[in-house]
Structure 1
Amino acid sequence: MSARPVSPASPFAPAATAGSLSAIRTVTTEAAALQALAEALAGPMGEAFERALASISAVTGRLVVTGIGKSGHIGSKIAATFASTGTPAFFVHPVEANHGDLGMIGAGDAVLAMSWSGESAELQGIVAYTRRFRIPLIAITSRETSALAREADERLILPRVEEACPHGLAPTSSTTMQLALGDALAVALLERKGFTPGDFRVFHPGGQLGASLRHVGDLMHRGEAMPLVATGTPMSEAILAISRKGFGCVAVVDGPGRLLGIVTDGDLRRHLSGDLLARTVDEVMTHAPKTIRPDTLAGTALDMLNSANITALMVVEDGMPVGIIHLHDLLRIGVA
């Protein structure tokens, strides 16, 4: 890669320091590389991308990602992204492959090999192995005439771009494109397979992400725990129900059990007067309150609570309350 002049982007120049100017140059250079990649995908690379996508989609075993140096580090991340989005995948280091790990690759697998130059000697063993046993080989490289590209069944040729390194040596823009192209393959496969948030949860049970993908029905309070009173109930009894159940509200239902409204702590404050206890819930309640279905994701429930500035939601099916979920339930499992 050729070096290029260090010229700060003019909008940032007046207040930028030497360090921030370098950072801006790096980011804008890598952004330009991604734009070049997008243009390639819209043009000459588009058909090759579709063929590579079809090849990976047809795999009955696993997608094996390999690469050496910085390409290897990027490949390891790409393999993890495939695996977490429904395409069984793992990374094999090409040197370890030459010392026995080729046995990890079998019939039904495909290999995604990454090398900017396409001439990495360490890849020769794994490339030869795929040719011997007719294992599909997909190459991500920048040189169409390279050894890797010549041997591959499908080749994704990255555009030649400037590295962000001022000497044109450290892989920066090139690895950014490799990472983005790997993500593009994984996301396209995710969409092709109809991968859902529920499927995603299976592979991400831990942490905040896993918590946000749980369903309200898994977390809600049911049965006797629900704060319910019948229409016409005096406010004196409703206040006791609010206190006993501990959710800061009570739902009002009709004879068949359909939800009519809700009385919250806020409603009590708004109607605070000398005759509050003599009134009925029908006079105080909020009609048509916000509700949620049991099959709603916990992350969505948190967004609803935050946007409405409330702390609890009645869980309803066919107009009937089946549970209640409180902000504390979501905080307890780590959604927020």
Structure 2
Amino acid sequence: MVADSRRRHALALDIGGTKIGLGIGDDLGVVHAAHQFPTDPTLAPEPLLGRALDWLHAACNDHGLIPEAVGVAAPGPLDRASGRLLEVPNMLRWQGFALRDYLAQATALPTAVQNDANAAVLAEVLWGAARGADTAVFLTMSTGMGAGLWIEGRLIEGPCGLAGEIGHIRLTDEGPVGFGKRGSVEGYLSGPGLVQLAAAEALAFHQRSAATTLPDPPALTPEAVFAAARAGDAAARAVVGTFTRMLGRLCAILVDLLNPDVIVFGTIGTAHFDLLAPGVGELLRVEALPESAARVALRPSGLAQRGIQSALAVALAALDRGARATGTAKHTDRRRPR
């Protein structure tokens, strides 16, 4: 792909508990080069980031690109003021690491760090399923569960940068554990939470001498649960039913609270949107205010390379903030991430 020299370009790092995604992209959301490698939880951040920066430097040279900024999407929560990671699943040595300052010093470029939910909603509003929306919510539904909140044309972060940490909300007194809480949103609506639900349901079936095709751990994964449900397994269908019900309950709360135009489903929700959306929509019609429920659209992610494009959106939002601060902004679109 030949890059357009008239476009602004940025480096993108999508940091996760199992892999790091890298990319170079432009302000149209086009990713010109991408790469990923597994994270090693035994290593400190510096060796992994050094490897990432070596690849990004080589890719820029190969494509003849000059990046203007660095954007990072990282598992939340994080300290917005310092750019430090507060909690990274499976990567204890990253906790407290000054990621923004490290990358800014290493690249000599403006660097911005956002949690993955905030980064994703920025990208969806720019180029994806929420493009042009005035008010939108992105639900991660992956290893963890958080929300990116785009309200009346701006990202909502809160004074501590912790707005949208809905995984911490308790839905029931009992249930799977997530975010350190039994019965929490993350307990029900994350990958690990879904596995907890499935393990409990499979055990209950076995105790009743009922048949189920759900595998035992570690083969019991979210994909295995949904595959079994699609094949008609009763235990798996019960688990997916619980997941759908709790997702519908959460979406009804969000619709009544925020009156969004769009709610975008992340990883699990995108992969299995056809199974989840009808039930969630039905619950919305019952649980949420009719006017708000009629307005909101439920959508899967519209981004082919969401992790990298999310980090790219973070970099471009930082460039826009800098341009406004210096009076060099080229646009006044209130829906542009800021």
Query: TM-score, normalised to structure 2's length?
Result: 0.26
Greater radius of gyration (CA): 1
Structure with more contact order per residue of length (Cα contacts < 8 Å, sep ≥ 6): 2
Q: Tell me which protein shows more helix as a share of its residues.
A: 1
